[in-house]
Amino acid sequence: MKRPVMPLLLLVCLAGLSAPPAVAAQPAPPPAAPSAAAAPDPLLPAGTTYDPAVPSPAAELGWPVGEWHVSHDRLVAYMRRLAETSERVRLEVQGQSHEGRPLVLLTISSPANLARLGDIRRAHRALSEPPFDDRSQAPSLAGQPAVVWLGYSIHGDEASGSNAALLVAYHLAAGRGAEVERLLEHTVVLLDPSLNPDGLSRFAHWANTHRGRVLVADPEHREHVQAWPSGRTNHYWYDLNRDWLAVQQPESRARVATMQRWRPSLVADFHEMGADSTYFFQPGVPSRQNPLTPPANLELTRAIARYHAEAFDRAGVLYYSEETFDDFFFGKGSTYPDIQGAVGILFEQASSRGHLQETDQGLRSFRDAIGNHVLTSLSTLWAAADKREELLAYQRDFYRRAMAQAQRAPQGGWVVADGGDPARAWHLLDLLTAHGIEVHRLARPLEVGGETFRPGEAWLVPAQQRQVSLATALFERRTEFPDATFYDVSAWTLPLAFDLTAAEVPRARWSPGLLGERVLEPVLPPGRLPSRAAAGGVPPYAWLFEWRGYYAPRALHRLLAAGVVARVATRPFEAETDAGHHRFGYGTVVLPAGLQTLAPERVAELLATVAREDGVDVWAVATGLTVGGADLGSPSLRPLERPKVALAVGHHVASSEAGEVWHLLDQRYRMPLSLVDKDRLGRIDLDRYTHLVLVSGRYDELGEAVVGELAGWLRRGGTLVAIQGAAHWATRALLNGRSAASGGSPGAGGPDAEAGEEAEADEATARRPYADYDADRAVDLVAGAIFEVELDTTHPLAYGYDDPLLPVFRESTAVLEPSANPYENVALYAAAPLLAGYASPANAERLAGTAAAIATRVGRGTLIRLADDPTFRAFWLGTDKLLANALFFGPVVRSTPVPKP
């Protein structure tokens, strides 16, 4: 396993670098590339020579890698130059980021392999396709290259990865010698130099803007302390390393499509961690591996780890391996491959968060960090070349074993219904097919799990398919775990996230006759429109649409923004429509024709748009006299106004939660949203806005005067939506610590009480082993689990929900005590709330009966408190409507003084 020697990286390696020009943050490249064939950068393997026809990074950039942070445009430009000058490199654009930056991918291998790349990909994909015949597959392994994915800097401010990609790509494109030739012969390298272009660009600008001629290592220097939001996330402040399963962001959708097209055998995921650490590579904590991942994966990871250890031992780099990080949640870059027959490996380099920083390990330079990622990139490829047949055989056997287990499994597959909302079902089908999961329409009625599933409203996911392991991970509801400590969430059950009815289909009930047409490219089905002969040819008295559809909020906002007059039904009613008798539920939107100021043709055009693009069913009635319930001129139909929403952002606001709200309103509902800096709340005219949304943050910093202005705005008629941590702050600051405006106490420990705060030590707990702290602390946590709440479906905050039981996602132990006014408690946690994931029995019991959503009238305004994040990671579609209802129907909530006995 002897490899070319990488020179020891010096902590003071930046001292001799040339000073930056006075007028440019990133100097223009010199007119000519260097002609020397020797390694043009000390971070490249010693003894390797390079093709002078292929420009080095320094020749193109005009400075050595690491002297400045490379911007994404310069990074892409260099990768294009490699594809132009090296016969070993092909470049493709996988997609675009939110800000329009290209998501480039380099395919690097020997010219001979590139000449037959299509054949190689087909043969490689055959390893993970039925029928998995040993005898037919075994001969192909001998000459088949391993496919290796190298992915860099999914967190944009962990920039050493993308900067290392410059040198790794150059080494593979231009390096000469037997070792490089061997790597290229035995591997096809898929190199993604920037998994998060928007975040990388934001951070590169920050770091370069604050770099001086003399590097400042002080951790408090502004270069090391980013402004809000940091460069970690993408444009909408999403952590893309939590989006591999959810695929809700364009960056994720593009790279998952590439992965499903290629199905690599080995995936390397390059990150950074705290500056005071060293270097981590997997396997991580063995006891925290997901049970669906075969033990052979762990053994291969350990074998590959020896290659990294050898490289670091030679270079004298400190590292560790089987601690801290885990392989449980399949939604990360290093774990998503593990559920699909590949070996995913996480690399974490201690960060310089700039160019040079003081740490507990001494001075940490950006060049050090880059060099370490270059080392492990190459050690990954050495391992792939040496263990090529083992990796390919493991991938083949993974799918063969999964199919065999599926044949013995108690279920034949899973069935899921749309629950009256084709839009949420469409989003689910879109997610499943993006991962290559086989989905079929239900061909005939099926009764299972106490539910009846009908064709046209339900779909089947068969267990007999190559992606059965991934499908199991997405549908299972696991609540028992061998290790209760989790690096990320412990549950991500898709039907619960989408609030759709689903069931396992027992093998005894399964038959091929249930499978209808396979769904390949799901589309949002359009809604219905009244016929031209609506209501017997009589002009409509009103148009109506129900609120249960996922995109009903987008439809309503589209109409209100265009000037359509709308009302909301706060009582159910029955009416004769253009399609016959129909029962309309709470939250039905009514558009009275007599109140419209727009021309009838314009209204008809808008209704056609919402039916076609928002999937909303539109009904017409010829009379305001209903068959049952309130008539259409009843006071119970409340007028609606277009929301003017502000979201508090900035210093000490949870950017991920804020980004989820921004993404939902901007991308899905197409609503304008004012992003207002939290520290400016006391200096702006709050009356410009009908709604203010606060996510978790430090609002105690606002001061009494600002809180007073917020309270005044609320009493004058504003709607304040406070989510998670902000809900507890609002209880203290705006309700004087009371659980409701009408009285009540927040309960023992206060609204922010954490599990275990009130426990008193006794003899049995007076001392615990210090080494047991992490395990003991896990008992007090809720590890990103799914719980059930009970909704009051008659309340405006719950309009559109037919089922009073709703799954919610929770990652906190803080409880929100119910209001003393029972009419204000929109949602309470069920008596046995845990549906999936980990929560200690004590925490689950403690959560039962506490509030998930409270709506309180304060003067003429409304304070809405949500205990949990309703827009979690953009794929928790089942609770998005709680936020939409707060925005559209918050002003509809009435004051409900408790009647005296």
Is the per-residue pLDDT at 397 higher than 80?
yes
Q: What is the mean pLDDT of residues 335-355?
A: 96
pLDDT attached to residue 891: 95
Q: Where are the beta strands (DSSP E) in 351-468?
A: 356-359, 362-365, 411-417, 440-442, 446-448, 451-453, 458-462
Task: Identify which has the larger pLDDT, 287 or 226.
Answer: 226
Task: Identify which has the larger pLDDT, 158 or 752.
Answer: 158
> What radius of gyration do the chain's Cα atoms show?
29
Nearest Cα to Cα of residue 349 among 380, 326, 317, 310: 317
pLDDT attached to residue 30: 38
pLDDT attached to residue 302: 96
Is the per-residue pLDDT at 532 higher than 80?
no
Q: How confident is the model at residue 31 (pLDDT cuts 50, 70, 90)?
A: very low
Is the per-residue pLDDT at 131 higher than 60?
yes
* Torsion, Cα of 187, 192, 193, 196 (10° steps): -160
Number of Cβ within a 10 Å radius of residue 55:
25
pLDDT attached to residue 23: 30
Is the per-residue pLDDT at 892 higher than 90?
yes
Q: How confident is the model at residue 28 (pLDDT cuts 50, 70, 90)?
A: very low
pLDDT attached to residue 775: 58
Is the per-residue pLDDT at 6 higher than 50?
no
Is the per-residue pLDDT at 271 higher than 60?
yes
pLDDT attached to residue 748: 30
Q: How confident is the model at residue 669 (pLDDT cuts 50, 70, 90)?
A: very high
DSSP-H helix ranges across 740-879: 773-779, 841-847
Number of H-type helices and E-type strands within the chain: 23, 35
pLDDT attached to residue 539: 76
Task: Please state, in angstroms and rounded to a whole number, the distance separating the CA atoms of residues 889 and 566.
Answer: 12
Is the per-residue pLDDT at 779 higher than 80?
no
Per the document, the length of the chain is 901
Q: How confident is the model at residue 766 (pLDDT cuts 50, 70, 90)?
A: low
Q: Which two tokens stand for residue 492?
A: 């991500």
Q: How confident is the model at residue 772 (pLDDT cuts 50, 70, 90)?
A: low
Task: Please state, in angstroms and rounded to a whole number, the distance separating the CA atoms of residues 358 and 352.
Answer: 8
Question: DSSP label at 861?
Answer: E
Q: What is the mean pLDDT of residues 137-165?
A: 90
Task: Please state, in angstroms and rounded to a whole number, the distance separating the CA atoms of residues 346 and 380.
Answer: 11
Task: Please state, in angstroms and rounded to a whole number, the distance separating the CA atoms of residues 280 and 274.
Answer: 11
840-876 per-position pLDDT tens digit: 899 999 999 999 999 999 999 999 999 999 999 999 9
Task: Please state, in angstroms and rounded to a whole number, the distance separating the CA atoms of residues 760 and 766.
Answer: 10
546-595 per-position pLDDT tens digit: 999 999 999 999 999 999 999 999 999 999 999 999 999 999 999 999 99
Residue 583's φ and ψ, nearest 5 degrees, are -100, 125
Q: What is the mean pLDDT of residues 673-690?
A: 97
Q: Where are the beta strands (DSSP E) in 69-130?
A: 89-96, 102-108
Q: How confident is the model at residue 199 (pLDDT cuts 50, 70, 90)?
A: very high
Residue 519's φ and ψ, nearest 5 degrees, are -90, 115
pLDDT attached to residue 873: 92
Task: Please state, in angstroms and rounded to a whole number, the distance separating the CA atoms of residues 486 and 235.
Answer: 27
50-64 per-position pLDDT tens digit: 999 999 999 999 999
Q: What is the pTM of this model?
A: 0.91
pLDDT attached to residue 537: 52
pLDDT attached to residue 139: 45
Is the per-residue pLDDT at 86 higher than 90?
yes
Which of helix, strand or coil describes residue 271?
A: strand
pLDDT attached to residue 9: 38
Is the per-residue pLDDT at 140 higher than 80?
no
Q: How confident is the model at residue 782 (pLDDT cuts 50, 70, 90)?
A: confident
Q: What is the rounded average pLDDT for all residues in the chain?
A: 90
219-261 per-position pLDDT tens digit: 999 999 999 999 999 999 999 999 999 999 999 999 999 999 9
Task: Please state, in angstroms and rounded to a whole number, the distance separating the CA atoms of residues 144 and 381.
Answer: 15
**Residue tagged 């008659």 (tokens):** 794
First to last CA, the chain: 84
pLDDT attached to residue 784: 86
Number of Cβ within a 10 Å radius of residue 137:
20
Q: What is the mean pLDDT of residues 675-692?
A: 97
What are residue 785's DSSP bridge partners? 810
622-644 per-position pLDDT tens digit: 999 999 999 999 999 999 999 99
Which of helix, strand or coil describes residue 116?
A: coil
DSSP-H helix ranges across 562-626: 600-614
Q: How confident is the model at residue 138 (pLDDT cuts 50, 70, 90)?
A: very low
Task: Please state, in angstroms and rounded to a whole number, the distance separating the CA atoms of residues 730 and 164.
Answer: 46
Q: With pLDDT > 90 as the criterion, what percentage of the chain qualifies?
A: 81
Contact 252, 94 (CB under 8 A): no
Q: Which two tokens stand for residue 530?
A: 């009244």
